[in-house]
Amino acid sequence: MVSVLAPLRRGAGDPAFQYGADGSVWMTGNTPAGPGTLHLTRKSDEVHAEAWGEGADFLLDGVPALLGADDDDEGFVAHHDLIAEVRRRMPGLRLGASGRVWDVLVPAILEQKVTGIEARRSWRELCRWFGTPAPGPMRLRVPPSPKAFLSINDWDWHKAGVDSARRRAIIAAAQVAGRLERTVEMKGVEGREFLRKVPGIGVWTAAEVAQRAWGDPDAVSFGDFHIPSVVGYALLGRKLDDAGMFEVLKPYSPQRQRAVRYLEAAGVQRPRFGPRFSPRDYRAM
Q: What is the mean pLDDT of the segment spanning 200-205?
A: 98
Question: Is residue 280 scored above 60 in pLDDT?
Answer: no
Is 13 within the bounds of a domain?
A: no
- Tell me the C-alpha distance between 121 and 110, whole Å: 10
Question: How many structural domains are present in the chain?
Answer: 1
Is 201 within the bounds of a domain?
A: yes
Quote the mean pLDDT of the chain: 94
Whichever domain contains 147, its CATH number is 1.10.340.30
Question: Is residue 3 scored above 90 in pLDDT?
Answer: no
Is 243 within the bounds of a domain?
A: no
Is 32 within the bounds of a domain?
A: no
Beta strands in 80-223 (DSSP E): 132-133, 141-142
Which distant-in-sequence residues (6+ apart) come within 8 Å of 247 by Cβ?
A: none
Positive or negative: CA dihedral 201, 204, 207, 208: negative
Is 234 within the bounds of a domain?
A: no
**What range does the domain containing 139 cover?**
77-93+100-213
Instruction: Tell me if 111 sits within 8 A of 208, measured CB to CB.
Output: yes
Q: Work out whether strand 132-133 and strand 46-52 pair parallel, antiparallel, or are unpaired.
A: unpaired
Question: Is residue 251 scored above 60 in pLDDT?
Answer: yes
Q: Is-above-0.75 flag for pTM?
A: yes
- Tell me the C-alpha distance between 239 and 228, whole Å: 7
Is 163 within the bounds of a domain?
A: yes
91 pLDDT band, cuts 50/70/90, is confident
